[in-house]
Structure 1
């Protein structure tokens, strides 16, 4: 079976690279490989942060519609869980993640970008959830993650219309965090996560989990999640290194071991 997604590691940053020309359609094989590589990136000690990248021309134009066209209701009841789990695997990588978006990030492609912590887009990027134009709705997190990111009313307008959102608008509404020249997208994405390489990995993991899980629950429960994550860090080497360095050398001098 041809490899359609690969993990490349350089200088502490893992790149999950989609490679299914011409549009990186997210078929079943791509979804399975995304799940596998998300788990690998999350567990590797030489990976401190992750870039999700579709290449110089396109991020991912969405699901493989030809593959889905013949699926029945019964088929999709089974497949939808697997579809969501691929993107959830990306969201649950316990390290900082950034989507490097060139060209189209539509449907499942937009949902893949939404599963990352940050999004850097090229000036030529277009994002959207056009599933309604196919008679369906986003099925891999789009209705949930988009609403949490840009607010429910704006998310509904984007989803109901199925329109493509250009990079400048995406930046203005908070759908992406940075817009750069298309040729600089991958480099800019790496720059965004480079500060976390060799950093306090356990603390970053705890902070990510507290924020993400806290968004799913009420404030009281979220505060309890935060409290337990905070207390748990007192059993880690990160806390020992960070506090000892602060007392002996002042702020910003700690050299963490990385994970």
Structure 2
């Protein structure tokens, strides 16, 4: 089976970041985490990329951080956890482009944080999520817990992290972990349709509102930065063209 580091590819304005170690259930080792951070920096710096899809090959989306490294004592620091995996999720959440998690298979451990860092999470009825940290006696890192509380609220975070039982797709949709639940045959079409819609939306407005939503959720809202972002969006060619089109439609 394929056993490669995470791969970044682009097709026009759509980038795809693929976890490519199916024989290892797409567990993430230190080298994989380093590669992911480099790929995310590449995406963040490329204004031609309008949306990022994170996906995986094999039956499992990802089993999270490499258990062998964890057993060897790599529990990381309090902020970002084993191997610094939380820093990958934080970089993913901070991207200026909107992000989509294509969840075709089960999501475990640190991969739960990676999925939560995405703006949209599309899964099928076949998936489940398990956060085994409490079973292992592992205290989860701060950035991941904060992200879960911000995205899902404290009650859902308790169900996932403290109860430590698998949650099925219907429960994940109810809790807000999944933004879209679709049949397996519709997964790719749904992800592609979301990406297409995001690409056609005006980039300055999307970028500004995404940043503002993240700042509001994390209580780091800067009114002056928000005002500058709003002004830039309203001075953009996309906004001027849209107003002109509205005027023509009304005449």
Aligned equivalent of 1:256: none
User: Which secondary structure state, in structure 2, belongs to the residue aligned with residue 93 of structure 1?
Assistant: coil
Aligned equivalent of 1:85: 87
The reply to whether residue 234 of structure 1 matches residue 231 of structure 2 is yes
The normalised TM-score by structure 1 is 0.84
Aligned equivalent of 1:121: 123
Q: Give how far 1:149 is off.
A: 2.1
Range moving further from structure 2, 39-48 or 137-146: 137-146
CA RMSD of aligned residues (A): 2.5
Q: Give how far 1:51 is off.
A: 0.4
The normalised TM-score by structure 2 is 0.86
User: 2:202, 2:239 within 8 Å by CA — same for their partners in 1?
Assistant: no
| In 2: Cα distance, 1:67 partner to 1:179 partner | 33
Aligned length: 244
- Gaps of at least 5 residues in structure 1 are 254-259
| In 1: Cα distance, 2:73 partner to 2:151 partner | 31
Range moving further from structure 2, 139-148 or 205-214: 139-148
Task: Write the deviation string for residues 120-148 of structure 1: whole angstroms up to 9, x where unpaired.
Answer: 00211111322111111333743222222
The reply to whether residue 7 of structure 1 matches residue 4 of structure 2 is no
Aligned equivalent of 2:192: 190
Give the alignment of 1:156-235 within 5 angstroms: 156-217=158-219, 222=221, 225-226=222-223, 228-235=225-232
User: 1:51, 1:190 within 8 Å by CA — same for their partners in 2?
Assistant: no
| In 2: Cα distance, 1:72 partner to 1:3 partner | 22
Task: Write the deviation string for residues 47-87 of structure 1: whole angstroms up to 9, x where unpaired.
Answer: 110000012522111211111111267xx339837322111
Q: Give how far 1:246 is off.
A: 4.3
Corresponding residue to 1:37 among 25, 39, 49:
39
User: Which secondary structure state, in structure 2, belongs to the residue aligned with residue 47 of structure 1?
Assistant: coil
| In 1: Cα distance, 2:20 partner to 2:186 partner | 19
- Gaps of at least 5 residues in structure 2 are none
Q: Give how far 1:181 is off.
A: 2.1
| In 2: Cα distance, 1:135 partner to 1:114 partner | 22
The reply to whether residue 248 of structure 1 matches residue 244 of structure 2 is yes
